[in-house]
Amino acid sequence: MGKEWKRTISGTNHPQLRPIVDYELGCCLPTEEWIHLNGTAIFQEPGLLKYVSRFPPPALMRDVSGLTNEADCASHGAEFFRVLSESSAKPLTEYRSILDFGCGCGRLARMFKGHPHRVCDSDVDHRHVAWMKENLSYMDVRLNSVRPPIPYADEEFEAIFGISVFTHLNERTQDQFLEELRRVCARDGRLFLRSHVKRALARAMQGPAILNVLSVSATALQESNATFCDGRLAFILQEGHLTSRRPKGAVVPPVTASSLSRTSTGYPLFLKVT
């Protein structure tokens, strides 16, 4: 009661045929409505902006993802939400506790506005954590270190998401944090991790646009591709956003074994660990 009712603009353009949707429901809306609101409708009707989470400032957005505008940030977040919803055995709103590990400035976390249960986030970068705390106050956001532990209790989360975080870890740190995520994941919980695999690599090698966002050289990428095609992992130092403190130009030598599975399709990888 007392909620404002709005007409959704998805599905049809005819006003009298539009279904009525309560945008106050946030991510409890039907998934397609929530995705449409976040990815499209707010840019067509700015009055709808009040129903979605705030956007991070461009500088922070670029630092985290290489993106520079709200529309791209919104469509990425909406697409993550869609893929995760499709990958999950139950609606994301039914998990009673969720963690967005390596949340950045909330590209995915923004989509959890209106979640009926506990939503937590952690990141290693204090600037990301500070922005999240101030602007997405309905979440519990904490800073973690470059080494475990993550500041949450054993088996605390029914679902854990890690979007493009393991992409940035070397093999040793990756293994440490995989083990740590297992610790904070409930026994029957689900762990959803996204990493770049063959399709992303192929797209990056097609031209300068993605190479520029990644801030890596074409040569380094080609060498790494050869290593990757040989069944091994390869690491390249990024020189742009998210650059580590390693000496400029340093390339970590390829390593062999990995605890991460690979998809045969080459599409973004989601691991489910029980």
Residue 108 or 234 with smaller CB distance to ligand SAM: 108
Phi, psi of 233 (to 5 degrees): -90, 155
CA distance 80 to 211: 22
- Rounded least distance, CB 135 to ligand SAM, Å: 14
CA distance 28 to 34: 8
Residue 21 or 74 with smaller CB distance to ligand SAM: 74
CA distances from 113 to 43, 139, 157 (A): 18, 9, 18
Residue 146 or 218 with smaller CB distance to ligand SAM: 146
- Rounded least distance, CB 95 to ligand SAM, Å: 17
CA distance 197 to 262: 7
- Rounded least distance, CB 45 to ligand SAM, Å: 25
Residue 85 or 164 with smaller CB distance to ligand SAM: 164
Which residue minimizes CB distance to ligand SAM?
A: 104
Complete DSSP assignment for 179-218 = HHHHHHEEEEEEEEEE---HHHHHHHTT-HHHHHHHT--H
- Rounded least distance, CB 82 to ligand SAM, Å: 14
Residue 26 or 104 with smaller CB distance to ligand SAM: 104
What residue ranges bind ligand SAM (CB under 6 A)? 64-65, 102-104, 107-108, 122-125, 128, 144, 146, 163-165, 168, 177, 242
CA distance 104 to 98: 16
- Rounded least distance, CB 96 to ligand SAM, Å: 22
